[in-house]
Amino acid sequence: PLLVGISRKTTLGDLTGREVSDRMPASVAAAVIAVTNGAAIVRAHDVRETVDALRVAQAVIEAGE
Residues marked as catalytic: 9, 43
- The length of the chain is 65
Is 26 within 8 Å of 18 (Cβ atoms)? yes
Alpha-helix residue ranges (DSSP H) falling in 3-46: 10-16, 24-36
